[in-house]
């Protein structure tokens, strides 16, 4: 009986181990996403047409154009978006989907005033026809008074 039970447990553990999804491989795709994150400049389009974004007030845009219109309405101008080195967590699924968590330094113009903030972003990218585009994104401003960030970007 012990042998049957042990064999069954070993068999189940083997199945579980094989069922794990490999999200840490894909070095080429991981590098492509890192380069995409570092190349973001005002006016650079990295969003898919069906991009879904959640704005700072919790508003949802269901297309890239809706997101642009929401920023205009709120009088928000993105002056720069820079990822903080070493703060990218990238998971690649089957070589065509990437889930990215990244800490970024954002410089904004809001109603004529300059604002510098750090934001923890969660973004989803899809690779179609050999090119990556962002399909979803949402960020949370990091409150450095409550959670100071050291020089390496770690909380």
How does pLDDT run across 112-153, given as a tens digit for each residue?
A: 899 899 999 999 999 989 999 999 999 988 887 777 766 555
- Residue 3 per-residue DSSP state: H
- Whether 76 maps to a domain, the answer reads yes
Domain assignment present for residue 104? The answer is yes
How far is the C-alpha of 23 from the C-alpha of 101, rounded, in Å?
14
What would the pLDDT profile of 33-75 be if each residue is shown by its tens digit? 999 988 877 667 888 888 898 877 788 889 888 877 887 787 7
Beta strands in the chain (DSSP E): 47-54, 60-61, 76-93, 97-110, 113-128, 131-141
Q: Which domain holds residue 59?
A: 23-141
Cβ within 8 Å of residue 153, ≥6 positions away = 84, 85, 86, 87, 103
Is pLDDT of 7 > 70? no
Choose among 143, 121, 153: nearest CA to 37: 121
CA separation for the pair 14, 22 (Å, rounded): 16
Paired strand residues for 121: 102, 139
| 88 falls within a domain | yes
Domain presence at residue 118 = yes
Cα–Cα distance for residue pair 19/104, rounded to 1 Å: 33
- Residue 64 tokens read as 């890239």
Nearest to 127 by CA among 34, 32, 38: 32
27 domain residue, yes or no: yes
Is 2 a member of any domain?
no
- Domain count within the chain: 1
- The pTM (predicted TM-score) of the whole model is 0.75
Is 28 domain-assigned? yes
Let me know if residue 11 belongs to a domain. no
The CATH code of the domain that includes 99 is: 3.10.450.50
């Amino acid at each position: 009986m012990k042998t049957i039970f042990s064999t069954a447990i070993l068999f189940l553990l083997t199945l579980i181990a094989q069922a794990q999804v490999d999200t840490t491989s894909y070095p080429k795709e991981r590098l492509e996403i890192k380069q995409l994150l570092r190349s973001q400049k005002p006016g650079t389009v990295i969003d898919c047409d069906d991009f879904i974004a959640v704005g700072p007030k919790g508003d949802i845009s269901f297309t890239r154009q809706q997101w642009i219109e929401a920023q205009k309405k709120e009088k928000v101008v993105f002056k720069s978006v820079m990822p903080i080195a070493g703060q990218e967590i990238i998971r690649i699924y089957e070589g065509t989907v990437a889930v990215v968590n990244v800490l970024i330094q954002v410089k904004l113009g809001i109603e004529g005033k300059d604002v510098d903030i750090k934001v923890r972003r969660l973004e989803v990218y899809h690779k179609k026809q050999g090119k990556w585009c962002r399909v979803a994104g949402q960020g949370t401003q990091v409150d450095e008074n409550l959670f100071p960030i050291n020089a390496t970007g770690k909380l």
